[in-house]
Structure 1
């Protein structure tokens, strides 16, 4: 049974582009049809499954210089004759790889958070400096310049006509 790239990708739950990259990078043996498309046999599919299982995290294969050793088949369930020590060793290797990746990711997250906090502190320091300047300008007494009053600024005197009428009773 031979499958095309998109069929293998659907079966493995991966992107076809990733499968093509892995075939080229790890030199997985597969043939091409008349149109130049990859055609995968059962052995190639098993190798791709092994690579997927050993990578644990998508895209983490870039950190390896050479392809990881592939034992056919490497699935723990598919090899009942394999000694328990080898199965345990395989599990320990996977756990160690996942722990290394987790540590690396945690370091990246902490570095990013530190940079963000440093930026916030610098912004707050700048804002405090601006507020200090504003407070200093408000605390200095403002000196009023004495200007002579304008003619229009003086109050207008009202005439008291009602007072004379009340006195003389008119």
Structure 2
């Protein structure tokens, strides 16, 4: 008995090797795998692939092709269904895990927000203390300036003014007119 690789069948039918693999899966065609994991077929299965190719060339859809009196395609591998109770129990377990994760995520988010608020609060406290220090320094500087100004005023000689003294000169009349004198 001769075993043929996917490539050998695709060459004989003049189709792409992936087409042969797709037909194998869709129609559940028996095959073996070699040591490299490649599909290998028996010589007699070429007729099955040729039949599929002929039906497709006639315009039939893959789901409408029947073998040996079948009206529907054969399922490649039927996976047994899980009992409803087992499915519901597993689903309930998953939902509980999802709820736990959501709660942990919410707690983590709250912790992060609390940490950020504490950090902002400490930064604000630092800024307030810095502002208080600056206020004290400004008050000290203001006090020193007041003292310097007072000392400067005390040191300057006073000019004596004579309030009754009237300016003399040709412009005296004009000055009186405008009330400058």
Larger-gyration structure (1/2)? 2
TM-score scaled to structure 1, two decimals?
0.38
TM-score scaled to structure 2, two decimals?
0.36
